[in-house]
Chains A and B, each alone.
Chain A
Amino acid sequence: MSNKKSPLIKFSSVVKRFPGVVANDGVSFTVEKGTVHSLLGENGAGKTTLMNILYGLYQQDQGSIYLRGEEFEIDSPTRAIELGIGMVHQHFKLVQNHTVAENIALGLPSASAVRPTKDIKRKLLELAGQYGLKVDPEAKIWQLSAGEKQRVEILRALYRGAEILILDEPTSVLTPGETERLFTVLEDMKSEGRTIIFITHKLDEVMEVSDVVTVLREGKVVETVDTSSTDKSELSRKMVGREVLFDLEKPSRERGPIILEVQGLSALNDKRVEAIKDLSLSVHEGEILGIAGVAGNGQRELAEVLTGLRKATSGKVLIDGEDMTNSTPKKVSDRNVAHIPEDRIHQGIVGDLTLKDNAILKAYRKKPFSKGLLINYSLVDEHTREIIKDFDIKVPDPDTPANLLSGGNIQRLILGREVSSNPKLIIASHPTYGLDVAAAEQIRQLLLEQKGRGVGILLISENLTEVTSISDRIAVLFEGEIMGTVESGELEREELGMLMAGTPLEELAQREESVKG
């Protein structure tokens, strides 16, 4: 970035305080037009707060924001949109029961009062085609995968003519394939002169996609630097203020007997379309089987069928030798199966209830916490304090409502609770999704510890690095089918990518042979 461009956005000593914390503490930096500018930092570093100020959701307590050299007071998202700023939040702001087109029409000044989606569909499909963001305008939001919802959010911002697009942790819901596609879209937008602010805590992405990176730590700018003149380890040092270990020690362990066996399993998704087809796999005790794959290829349905939350249309699920096909969540949990759910906020915890209640969300009906009808709360208190201590949950006391915890603490609470039931099998759905580097490493470490104790783990994750770094075997899921199961390290990342794109393993092997021959 040697050619000097005009500063499009300038943050000047922006300060934002919340009760008890300073979220932004004198933030100053500039964003150039036509660049991809990463905002890098751990959870709680103040990235999202700063962008919410730019988008008009919050107002800064001190400092100013300049757009194209002029100071603006952006006092509402409406104003931000007028100024050509669009934002895609980490937690999508879409009306679940409405269609894609209706969501785009919502709040759009140009939409007509009668049949608001009339002209939208055509232009929407045009935009979608232009950027390769495939969506069905008639689909209801609740039927879409996270990746598809994100596409709708991006299209909505583009539809409103966003020149500056803020993306808050966009890849946390995407798979490698989808991430690559998103990056292509970002490149296209950049070449059209749009500016992208990319909030992330993933170093690979910063290096891959951005021109400039601003590192935030504890509400302050550590440094703004051209991506070309830095590297990952330097950035990570600046981001966390300490070195993060990227190599985890895998406990070696003899593969035990089969704990989970799935034979020819099929199931429907919410749209009543077959989401998993004739799927077979097995997990041994003391082994992590990683399920890699692009989002929306049946991962959610698979986890739900295995845990009794969804009915299978055919096939068999054997847990510890016993037929648990179409069982109930209660019976599955009684077979010593722990489940780390995909939606940790809504399924994993009950936000209004205390940590104590959340710590016994499943064990409340079992000894020693209850005998018959009565719950022994002094024992629950003890148990909760143990989980808090063992799993390093940062919380004042066990009577704190769970919704006051941060994402990493919530996940450690869930893991602590599930592990304390001494499971033989853990089904972990996206266990590190949305967590910062340190918290994610800790969760992976905890999973490896469980493996070391002989627990069988089915790890469903869209993070390919995560799957390859901690799994013993990897099964690749594509459109509800297993493309192939390989030992970890057997295939290169690119080859796994081909499986994830739908090439069966046999075909891949044949191709390689023909290349050799």
Chain B
Amino acid sequence: MINKLPFEIKKRQNPSGLGVMTVSLFALFGAFLVASIVFWAYGANPINAFRALFSGAFGGLYEISETVRRATPLLLAGVGLVIAFKAKFWNIGAEGQLLLGAMAASWVALFSPIPDPLLIPAMFLFGFLAGAAWGLIPAFLKSKLGINDVITTLMMNYVAINLILFLVQGPWKGEKQWGFPYTDEFPSAARLPTLGNTNVHWITLVIGVLAAVLIYFLINRTTPGFEIRVLGSSPAAGRFAGMSYVKSTLLVMFISGGMAGMAGVGEVAGIHHKLMNPAELSLGYGYTAIIVAWLARKNPLSVIVTSLFFGAIFAGGNAIKVSLGLPFQITDVFNGLILFFLIGSEILMSYKIEWRKNK
């Protein structure tokens, strides 16, 4: 009880959409403010840094295309995470699910007997299934055995990273890669077309936007979506109503993991054209997607906007690295600050501060 203070904290009856927006914007502003201090500590003028960040993300057609390209994996993985978070399944494992998708796509591209015209669809299909399988393991462990989802999904990331390191350094190591830990380059039939000279692999982008709409529809208009919403809010009421928590959780993580898996397919088939060290492959998209989904406030359609926002930070962060000589990790600092402020501001959405009247 905080009673000695000159204000009272009261519960809001029903947070309004505008209130949520305002609080989110203030949280972003707070993160920018602290980031300024970091820039300043590196000896860069924060104003210049933000200007460089902005022009690096939106300064021209190429810059915008870079933003979109970075936003693509965030969109796919983020939409998947929204549905998991809706079900109160704390999937921290999008990174690993993304890597598994990339791995499965690489197998299809390099080692499968699938004929050329079917390569791309097969890569997306196998990528989805591999990511989904990776997501189903923690789903099974939680819904059947009650094992904490945060821990298992997080730990599965490390398993995925090491699995891929093993493959690219061992059995899948490319013969034409001069000893580097890469697989061989994908055949051209296994590469996604890009828009003009940019790196935007538009097929993945279209899949992402369609998935956002479909998942919005699934959550709000269908019977499995109804079960996800009910069980996410109140497992006891769901059980009372005859819903199966296990079934619903498995479905949620099948979709969530599968979406992250397809994000991984896009990265290897659209950008890198080979499987490689996970750190270079993903840039932590799976983790950033958590922030993307959180900022979207559990609305799949909002992910289209929030993924672009974080795409811009990635693209802009790259520009800062070049123009101001700051380390690329500055974007991680940035993302971390934003998540920190967003979660910190969560309480302001359901509570409000009221100044005490003098008696």
Complex CA–CA separation, A78 to B238 (angstroms): 38
Are A351 and B234 in contact, CB atoms less than 8 angstroms apart?
yes
Complex CA–CA separation, A365 to B221 (angstroms): 12
Instruction: Please classify how large the interface on chain B is, using the bins under 10, 10 to 19, 20 to 34, 35 or more.
Output: 20 to 34
Contacts of A464 in B (CB 8 A): none
Q: Is B230 an interface residue (CB 8 A)?
A: yes
Residue of A nearest to B1 (CB): A76
Contacts of B222 in A (CB 8 A): 370, 373-375
- Min Cβ gap A341→B in Å is 6
Complex CA–CA separation, A93 to B95 (angstroms): 40
Are A59 and B13 in contact, CB atoms less than 8 angstroms apart?
no
Which residue of the partner chain, among A328, A348, A350, A360, contacts B233 with CB atoms under 8 Å? A350
Q: Is B237 an interface residue (CB 8 A)?
A: yes
Q: Is B224 an interface residue (CB 8 A)?
A: yes
Given contacts A361-B241, A362-B242, A375-B221, contact A61 B230 (CB under 8 A): no
- Min Cβ gap B232→A in Å is 9
- Min Cβ gap A156→B in Å is 17
Residue of A nearest to B225 (CB): A375
Residue of B nearest to A373 (CB): B222
Contacts of A346 in B (CB 8 A): 234, 236-237
Residue of A nearest to B222 (CB): A373
Give per-residue flags for A318-340: 1 if the beta carbon is below 8 A from chain B beta carbons, else 0. Answer: 00000000001111110000010
Are A353 and B240 in contact, CB atoms less than 8 angstroms apart?
no
Complex CA–CA separation, A78 to B239 (angstroms): 39
Give per-residue flags for A395-413: 1 if the beta carbon is below 8 A from chain B beta carbons, else 0. Answer: 0000001001000000000
Instruction: Please classify how large the interface on chain A is, using the bins under 10, 10 to 19, 20 to 34, 35 or more.
Output: 35 or more
Complex CA–CA separation, A198 to B357 (angstroms): 31
Are B233 and A353 in contact, CB atoms less than 8 angstroms apart?
yes
Are B226 and A374 in contact, CB atoms less than 8 angstroms apart?
no
Are B240 and A348 in contact, CB atoms less than 8 angstroms apart?
yes
Complex CA–CA separation, A401 to B13 (angstroms): 10
Are B241 and A61 in contact, CB atoms less than 8 angstroms apart?
no
- Min Cβ gap B299→A in Å is 15
The 10 closest A-B pairs by CB, nearest first: A330-B242, A329-B242, A347-B240, A75-B3, A352-B233, A350-B234, A373-B222, A350-B233, A361-B241, A346-B236
Known: A76-B1, A309-B240, A375-B223. 15 other contacts (CB 8 A): A57-B1, A59-B3, A78-B1, A308-B242, A328-B242, A332-B242, A333-B242, A339-B240, A346-B236, A350-B237, A352-B233, A352-B234, A364-B226, A373-B222, A374-B221
26 interchain pairs, CB-CB under 8 A = A56-B1, A61-B357, A61-B359, A76-B1, A76-B3, A308-B242, A329-B239, A329-B242, A330-B242, A330-B243, A333-B241, A339-B240, A341-B240, A347-B236, A347-B239, A347-B240, A349-B234, A350-B233, A350-B234, A351-B233, A362-B242, A370-B222, A374-B221, A375-B222, A375-B226, A377-B221
Q: Which residues of A contact B (CB under 8 A)?
A: 19, 56-57, 59, 61-62, 75-78, 307-309, 328-333, 339, 341, 343, 346-353, 357, 360-362, 364-365, 370, 373-375, 377, 401, 404
